[in-house]
Amino acid sequence: MANPWFESVAEAQRRAKKRLPKGVYGALVAGSERGLTAEDNIAAFAELGFAPHTAGLANEKNMATTVMGQEISLPVIISPTGVQAVTPDGEVDVARAAASRGTAMGLSSMASKPMEEVIAANPKTFFQLYWVGDRDVMAAKVERARRAGAAGLIATLDWSFSYGRDWGSPFIPERINFEAARRYAPQVLTRPRWLWGFAKTMKIPDLTVPNMVATPGDKAPTFFEAYGQWMQSPMPTWEDVAWLRELWGDKPFMLKGVMRVDDAKRAVDAGVSAISVSNHGGNNLDGTPAAIRALPAVAEAVGDQVEVLLDGGIRRGGDVAKSLALGAKAVMIGRAYLWGLGANGEAGVGNVLDLLRDGLGSAMIGLGHTSIDQFSPSDLVIPPSFERHLGVDGVDAPFAPHSSGKG
Ligand SMILES: Cc1cc2nc3c(=O)[nH]c(=O)nc-3n(C[C@H](O)[C@H](O)[C@H](O)COP(=O)(O)O)c2cc1C
């Protein structure tokens, strides 16, 4: 067998594409509408350059930090993704890989594995909630997370139910029945390694979401049943955010998906302990700028009051370095680990985390830093119109050059 180790996230993606059935791969590519935001998340990192030193560099690389009360060995954690059928153990594989590399994990409400199993594999697990149902329903889910020992809660509210991709959406069956098997067969039969992974477990992917019920073991809805409930739920208010935060008690609470300075301030007022500057990996309102463009203004406004993380577009250690230089305490990764999982299961996720650690280490050497808290904007070459100041006296046009003269 060829060496399963890969040298870049791009290579992991190529292997995942080869190995996974087309529909599963397409679900990981995700993105919405024209894909502007998903593309900008990547393009924006490429616009940022480094300003390296030549001599007087150091070997020491102190990357340890804390996020939401958890000690982590590098400033990279797993972002929650609701993805099915990549490997039989799914999120448990991801949790094990994250634990083995000393880092934390966000677990999605839409995940395929129960939170109790994931937390057993990695106690540094934050459970992610969407706002589905009413306050009573939400409270019951929060109680389950508390009983299961979740280290923190992540509330993701930035979903706009955008659908329709110009490059086409994959066929995802409601459940695996005869019709689904017939439609899936042509793509699955050409992917023997993926099929063998499931065949060994004597189970077929059941495509249910076990964290959407309040009691572990209760009959779980399918992904689409849960999605339907979610679409019919009233949209949460800032009062609901404050209510949820208070209900969770003393443990850390993150609001994920903040892009605007005014919203970041409201999140602080609602009592959150962390925010993630994020556009959901370009899966919600297409035309939202890259998260990294919005980061500096948000970090400057609230970075001394809450932990500011970033997610969206992280594919290499250099991207982590750029995010830290622009004010993030740590980053979360989505597709990068999904490609690793698709390419080589648990070991592939570990491989991705190792690549990010090594790449961050290279940036530290080049920039002469011995500790990640030494990153600053002066490490970077930042084009004049790079930043976006959303929610500061009105909104910058998402892709027009920034001309407000602010900051
Ligand atoms: C396939 C897929 C599924 C996702 N599912 C969720 C989810 O269930 N909950 C959530 O908060 N974010 C979800 N996200 C968003 C990620 O947590 C994260 O914000 C995003 O992937 C970061 O961008 P990146 O993929 O470029 O790293 C999902 C992203 C992808 C690609």
According to the annotation, is 186 in a ligand binding site?
no
Q: Does residue 311 line the site of ligand 1, with CB under 6 A? A: yes
Cα gap 295→388, rounded to integer Å: 8
CB atoms within 10 A of CB 159: 16
- Nearest-atom number in ligand 1 for the CA of 128 is 11
According to the annotation, is 66 in a ligand binding site?
no
According to the annotation, is 201 in a ligand binding site?
no
Q: Which residues fall within 8 angstroms of residue 314, CB to CB, at 6 or more apart?
A: 45, 76, 320, 323, 331, 332, 333, 336, 356
Please tell me the predicted confidence (pLDDT) of residue 230: 93
Q: Which residues fall within 8 angstroms of residue 196, CB to CB, at 6 or more apart?
A: none
Judged on CB neighbours under 10 Å (0-12, 13-18, 19+), 18 is middle
Judged on CB neighbours under 10 Å (0-12, 13-18, 19+), 172 is middle
- Nearest-atom number in ligand 1 for the CA of 108 is 8
CA 62 to ligand 1 center in whole angstroms? 28
Mutation choice for ligand 1 from 24, 275, 283, CB with most ligand atoms inside 8 A: 283
**Buried b vs exposed e over 189-202: b needs ≥16 C-beta within 10 Å?**
eebeebeebeeeee
Please tell me the predicted confidence (pLDDT) of residue 395: 54
Q: Does residue 112 line the site of ligand 1, with CB under 6 A? A: no
Q: Which of these, 352, 281, 287, lies nearest to 28 by C-alpha position?
A: 281
The partner residues of 308 in beta bridges, in order of sequence, read 275
Q: Does residue 280 line the site of ligand 1, with CB under 6 A? A: yes
Cα gap 31→384, rounded to integer Å: 28
Q: Which domains does the chain have, with CATH numbers?
A: 9-170+206-381 (3.20.20.70)
CA 151 to ligand 1 center in whole angstroms? 20
Half-sphere exposure (Cβ direction) of 161: Cα atoms closer than 13 Å: 11
Q: Which residues fall within 8 angstroms of residue 330, CB to CB, at 6 or more apart?
A: 65, 67, 72, 75, 76, 77, 307, 309, 324
Cα gap 114→118, rounded to integer Å: 7
Please tell me the predicted confidence (pLDDT) of residue 188: 83
Backbone phi and psi for residue 76, each to the nearest 5 degrees, phi listed first: -135, 125
According to the annotation, is 108 in a ligand binding site?
yes
Please tell me the predicted confidence (pLDDT) of residue 325: 98
Give the residue, by CA position, lying nearest to ligand 1 atom 27. Answer: 334
CA 80 to ligand 1 center in whole angstroms? 6
- Nearest-atom number in ligand 1 for the CA of 28 is 1
According to the annotation, is 378 in a ligand binding site?
no
Q: Does residue 257 line the site of ligand 1, with CB under 6 A? A: no
Q: Does residue 323 line the site of ligand 1, with CB under 6 A? A: no
**Tokens describing residue 116:** 């109790």
CA 177 to ligand 1 center in whole angstroms? 27
Q: Are 172 and 110 in contact (CB under 8 A)?
A: no
Please tell me the predicted confidence (pLDDT) of residue 187: 82
CA 203 to ligand 1 center in whole angstroms? 26
CB atoms within 10 A of CB 7: 11
Q: Which residues fall within 8 angstroms of residue 391, CB to CB, at 6 or more apart?
A: 259, 260, 261, 262, 263, 264
Please tell me the predicted confidence (pLDDT) of residue 207: 84
Select which of 280, 369, 389, 402 is catalytic: 280
Please tell me the predicted confidence (pLDDT) of residue 393: 75
Please tell me the predicted confidence (pLDDT) of residue 192: 84
pLDDT per residue as tens, the chain (407 positions): 579 999 999 999 999 999 999 999 999 999 999 999 999 999 999 999 999 999 988 889 999 999 999 999 999 999 999 977 899 999 999 999 999 999 999 999 999 999 999 999 999 999 999 999 999 999 999 999 999 999 999 999 998 888 889 999 888 777 777 777 778 778 888 888 888 888 888 777 778 999 999 999 999 999 889 999 999 999 999 999 999 999 999 999 999 999 999 999 999 999 999 999 999 999 999 999 999 999 999 999 999 999 999 999 999 999 999 999 999 999 999 999 999 999 999 999 999 999 999 999 999 999 999 999 999 999 999 999 999 999 997 555 444 444 443 33
Q: Does residue 84 line the site of ligand 1, with CB under 6 A? A: no
Q: Are 62 and 365 in contact (CB under 8 A)?
A: no
According to the annotation, is 249 in a ligand binding site?
no
Mutation choice for ligand 1 from 79, 314, 320, CB with most ligand atoms inside 8 A: 79
Backbone phi and psi for residue 271, each to the nearest 5 degrees, phi listed first: 90, 15
CB atoms within 10 A of CB 167: 9
Give the residue, by CA position, lying nearest to ligand 1 atom 6. Answer: 81
CA 400 to ligand 1 center in whole angstroms? 26
**280 flagged as catalytic:** yes
